[in-house]
Amino acid sequence: MNPREIRSGVRRVFGLALRRPGASVPGADAELESMITEHVEHLVARGADPAAARAEALRALGDSTLGARSGVRSSAAHRERTLWWREAVREFFADARYGIRTLRRSPSFSIAAILTLALAIGANTAIFSAVSAVILRPLRYAAPDRLVSLYETNPDFGWTEAEVAPANYLDWREQVSSFEDVAAWNNFNGAATLTGYGEPRLLNAVSVTGNLFSVLGVRAVIGRTLDSTETWRSGAQFPVVLSYRVWRDVFGGDSGIVNRSIVLNGRSLSVAGVVPESFTIPGLDSDIYSSVNWPREDRAAVFFRRAHFVRPVARLKPGATREQADAELQTVVTRLQSQYPETNTHMGAGFKPLHDFLVGNTREPLLVMFAAVGVLLLIACANIANLLLVRAAGRQREAALRLALGAGRGRLARQAFTESAVLALAGGLAGIALGWWGTRVFVALQPPGLIPVRDIAMSWTVLGYVSAVTAVSAVAFGVAPALWMTRRVPADVLKDDGRSTTGSVRARRWGELLLVGEVALSVTLALGAGLLVRSYSELRLVHPGFESAGVLAATINLPGTRYDSAFKVEQFFNGLEQRTAALPGVVATASVSQLPLTTPAWSSQFSVLARNAPPSTEQVRHREVTPRYHEVMRVPLRSGRLLASTDGVGSRNVVLINEAFARKHFPDENPIGLTISFDRVPDATSVWRTIVGVVGDERLGTMAVAPVPEFFEPLAQEPRQGMTLVVRTSGDPAALTPALRRIVAELDPALAIVSVRTMESVRSAALARDRFLTTLMLAFAGVGVALGIVGVYGVVAQLVRRRRREMGIRVALGAGARQVQWLIVRHGLVLTLTGVVVGVGAALALTGALRTLLYEVTPADPMTFALVPLLVVASALAASWIPALRASRTAPTEVLRAD
Amino acid sequence: MALIRGTLDVLVLKAVSWGPMHGFEITRWLADRSEGQFQIENAALLQALHRLEERELLAGEWGVTENNRNARYYTLTTTGRTQLRADSVSVRQSVAALATILDARSPGLRGAL
């Protein structure tokens, strides 16, 4: 095809005029003019009057005087345009009708194609909805691009984006002038029990500095929000702000609630106002916002600089750049380091856009899923293109005949294309419906915390994206058949009487190329999914350090107002444990301040008595337990003894350590009997505790994190108001729930249980994120590979159909069934292997992106890279065998007679 | 007098076979040779010239007239010359055929013409 042909082909396809009017014959006007001049001069030379001569010359020109001529030309151009439009529209509808008719003639093909497409587009819609809600949509605060999230860093503790000590936050707020203002919140939701409105109800409460709402630019829907003076404790009753949801669901949307008192954790608070429905603090889903209520004198306290628990958010001043702000912040940080060496040595700070903070580690799984559905769509398109190509090849005689009868190639291409467009439209619509539903399913099934925003839904952005995706896929699978259709030479096709294979060589090459691409993509996808599956199965094998079966866990927060002494707290949990232990089937009960596999507890440093070792910077986690905790959880005792009920107030302070601690800090000695304090540099006020036992390691946080050093203190010596009761039973742990609730209500009717879960479900929740991601990826890969295999089958079946005669002849000449089968299978196998090689190569280059999502599996895991291709090749082999078997069974006579 | 349809092309080829001519010269030439019988419209002639040029029977080129004006001169190509020969024969034959038909006398109309 030479360039001119292509150009005119393109112009034809898009219905542009083939030549621009006015440029039809270059120089025509000049020539006409010269003829008239010659004529006039000729007449004048014979004595005519010049004016009359000109009139005569123009008359002699015929019916096209210059003025009339341009009129004719433009009206012709106009007519051409109108005609073209009318023709194009008529043609389009005719093509669409024809397309729908042909699609209805082969319903199985059409349904398969539309379903494939709908599935791929639906998956894209659902995932893109999440991507759009999390990554693309700006935060719903005023001028969100000027908001940054601040954090602390410390190489000694391995902190990269740690929470901030309140005193440091306050200094930054006052000393960094590029910040208009800095607010902060305590980075966790506390459970707060609301009483006085029916049943005691548990709400998620977060403490914030008074200026948080003004920094974020949020106004109250009714009433007011907090102001900056309300950060500090004062004599006044302290105010809370309600979330819209709580205001609507709990208080019935009553606007009289403003300035009224509510009782939270036994404490009377006044309602300041209600924030809009869309408002959340990034990463938290809170019901109630209360002030941090810091006493002013804490400002100077050492713990205010030592304990790191707030998340500051700053608003940059208009005109201030991030670089300026950072430079100022670093100056302040350096000053604080030298000013407070005890707490701030090596304590650095930094910030990043608030949006990045929100997206956090969600970005990676989301983008991986997004890439996966993108690949899936490509596979689907390649598959449909191949099916369409096969059909186009089947219709080559029709096309050739129409070409021979004078149909334009553009016309044929357009028609083939319209069919694809009809298909894409149907698939796209079905896909949007599926995606709308899929988005809901996705939101419902996603494990808590994977997606940090509440409202994921179809939006105009999503619809726009889906339309674009549909259009692109229509082009993707429509182009090959359309181009191929118009490149047929009618004579060849009509002459060969449908027997020769030469006519379809090109179509076959196209199809094979598509197939190789399809197989490669599905192999890449399957390898990605395979790695996640491998990682997940590794993760499942991880022993959490405790026996989860048969254990029920109930979390309870005692309100500090009524349980204001160690004695009251201990008495409550003792009573609870004793009464629960009396329930039928209960083997043992205990309480712990923090369950394993949940968000890690508080931590501190430590020092060992009478050692001159340099102070360690190790942060050790602390948990408070009642004596039988390790027994209930079946965590083994490695040496020494467990805690006993005699380890109480007044007796010697004791502590248990876990193996990770012993291994790391006392590798060559027996730690039992050593005395330690939780201060890095002990002083006169330090409390000394004796290590009495070493217990096995449990995993904190997630399964993927190796056990860290831990302390266990007896609850009696270190009281905590928030504890979780763990109950080991010989029966079904969940069945204990009603009895447990009854006991709690009897002990204290104003208490609400925060949560009751079986340890099995805690363990399962710890894997939820990986399971979710793995399942989704596996589903995508499954569909992808299935499509790839269907593609192999299609191409091989087509080959068999084309070479039936040849096979018949071979069989007639005495070829064995095996030989014939191998001939066919080999073809499918070569294509599959090529695809597999390309796919493996692509995967090797791409799976590095999965690194952070993988546990104990390298991105080039040999097992995955061996098994997945093997699986694909085996299935492709099976898929090629079916048509091959059919080919070898063809009776030669039947084939030879058929023509 | 109007031309018989389809004969303009062959006449133009014939005119140009005498040597390069521009449009108006061809008009003049045809008018002279037909002793003023054929008055050809310039627009029609221009179309004929372009048609012939597109079929590569004529080659057009801008040149300068005796009066020092720009005009497009046409020369006969080799294919044009072959075409002219073939067309001359066929036009002569068809004119002869026409004449035979028109001269024939119907038995029923004897004496009518």
What is residue A65's predicted lDDT score, i.e. its pLDDT? Answer: 46
pLDDT band at A68 (very low <50, low <70, confident <90, very high): very low
Is there a domain that residue A112 lies in?
A: no
Is there a domain that residue A546 lies in?
A: no
Q: Does the CB of A28 have a partner CB in chain B at under 8 Å?
A: yes
pLDDT tens digits along A705-755: 889 899 999 998 888 888 899 999 999 999 999 999 999 999 988 887 878
Task: Kindly state whether residues A744 and A784 are assigned to the same domain.
Answer: no
What is residue A71's predicted lDDT score, i.e. its pLDDT? Answer: 43
Domain boundary among A689, A718, A749: A749
Report the percentage of chain A scoring pLDDT > 70.
88
Is there a domain that residue A139 lies in?
A: no
pLDDT at A317 over 90: yes
Strands A147-154 and A159-162: antiparallel
Q: Domains in chain B, start-ordered, CATH in brackets?
A: 8-103 (1.10.10.10)
pLDDT tens digits along B6-28: 788 888 999 998 888 888 889 88
What is residue A18's predicted lDDT score, i.e. its pLDDT? Answer: 44
- From CA A617, how far away is CA A604, in angstroms rounded? 9
Task: Kindly state whether residues A294 and A261 are assigned to the same domain.
Answer: yes
What is residue A160's predicted lDDT score, i.e. its pLDDT? Answer: 80
Task: Kindly state whether residues A712 and A773 are assigned to the same domain.
Answer: no
The DSSP string of A345-369 is TT-EEEEEEHHHHHHGGGHHHHHHH
Is there a domain that residue A758 lies in?
A: no
* Run of H or E residues at B8: helix B8-16
Taking residues A153-174, report their average pLDDT: 87
Domain boundary among A720, A749, A778: A749
Is there a domain that residue A471 lies in?
A: yes
pLDDT band at A785 (very low <50, low <70, confident <90, very high): very high
* Interface contact flag, B44 A32, Cβ < 8 Å: no
- From CA A448, how far away is CA A284, in angstroms rounded? 11
pLDDT tens digits along A332-354: 999 999 999 888 888 999 999 99
Task: Kindly state whether residues A376 and A259 are assigned to the same domain.
Answer: no
pLDDT tens digits along A569-583: 889 999 999 999 999
Is there a domain that residue A646 lies in?
A: yes
Range of the domain at A584: 560-749
Taking residues A253-259, report their average pLDDT: 89
Task: Kindly state whether residues A569 and A525 are assigned to the same domain.
Answer: no
Is there a domain that residue A625 lies in?
A: yes
pLDDT at A64 over 60: no
pLDDT tens digits along A671-715: 999 999 888 777 788 889 999 999 999 998 788 888 989 999 999
A19, A25, A29, A31, best to mutate vs chain B, most B CBs in 10 Å = A31
Please give the radius of gyration of chain B, using alpha carbons only, rounded to the nearest integer. Answer: 17
Is there a domain that residue A755 lies in?
A: no
Task: Kindly state whether residues A650 and A741 are assigned to the same domain.
Answer: yes
Q: Is A503 helix (H, G, I), strand (E, B) or coil?
A: helix
* Interface contact flag, B39 A60, Cβ < 8 Å: yes
pLDDT tens digits along A594-645: 899 887 667 778 888 877 666 667 778 889 999 999 999 999 999 999 999 8
What is residue A545's predicted lDDT score, i.e. its pLDDT? Answer: 93
Task: Kindly state whether residues A571 and A536 are assigned to the same domain.
Answer: no
Task: Kindly state whether residues A60 and A167 are assigned to the same domain.
Answer: no
Q: Does the CB of A61 have a partner CB in chain B at under 8 Å?
A: yes
Helices assigned H by DSSP within A736-816: 737-747, 759-802, 804-812
Q: Which residue of B has its CA nearest to A62?
A: B41
Task: Kindly state whether residues A183 and A304 are assigned to the same domain.
Answer: yes
The DSSP string of A804-859 is HHHHHHHHHTT--HHHHHHHHHHHHHHHHHHHHHHHHHHHHHHGGGGGGG-SS--T
- From CA A287, how far away is CA A588, in angstroms rounded? 35
Q: Which residue has the higher pLDDT, A468 or A32?
A: A468
Q: Does the CB of A35 have a partner CB in chain B at under 8 Å?
A: yes
Report the percentage of chain B scoring pLDDT > 70.
89
pLDDT tens digits along A365-389: 888 999 999 999 999 988 888 888 7
Taking residues A178-190, report their average pLDDT: 87
* Interface contact flag, B22 A35, Cβ < 8 Å: yes
Helix, strand, coil distribution of chain B in percent, nearest 5:
55, 15, 30
What is residue A506's predicted lDDT score, i.e. its pLDDT? Answer: 66
Task: Kindly state whether residues A371 and A337 are assigned to the same domain.
Answer: no
pLDDT band at A179 (very low <50, low <70, confident <90, very high): very high
* Angle ∠(A146,A324,A135) on CA atoms, nearest 5: 35
pLDDT at A273 over 60: yes
- From CA A105, how far away is CA A99, in angstroms rounded? 10
A25, A38, A39, best to mutate vs chain B, most B CBs in 10 Å = A38
- From CA A305, how far away is CA A164, in angstroms rounded? 9
Taking residues A515-524, report their average pLDDT: 92
Q: Which amino acid is at B102?
A: L
Enumerate the β-bridge partners of residue A149: A313, A352
Q: Does the CB of A62 have a partner CB in chain B at under 8 Å?
A: yes
Domain boundary among A105, A120, A145: A105
pLDDT at A499 over 60: no
pLDDT band at A652 (very low <50, low <70, confident <90, very high): very high
pLDDT at A837 over 50: yes
* Residue listed under structure tokens 């003639």: A105
What is residue A552's predicted lDDT score, i.e. its pLDDT? Answer: 95
- From CA A805, how far away is CA A797, in angstroms rounded? 14
CA dihedral (B78, B83, B88, B94) in degrees, to 10, reads: 180
Exposure on the CB side of residue A827, measured as CA atoms within 13 A: 23
CA A722 to chain centre: 34
Contacts of A68 in chain B (CB under 8 A): none
Work out how many domains chain A is built from and give that number. Answer: 4
Q: Tokens in use for A648?
A: 């109480």
pLDDT tens digits along A553-563: 998 888 777 88
Taking residues A239-251, report their average pLDDT: 91
Task: Kindly state whether residues A738 and A799 are assigned to the same domain.
Answer: no
Task: Kindly state whether residues A526 and A424 are assigned to the same domain.
Answer: yes
* Angle ∠(A325,A330,A336) on CA atoms, nearest 5: 130
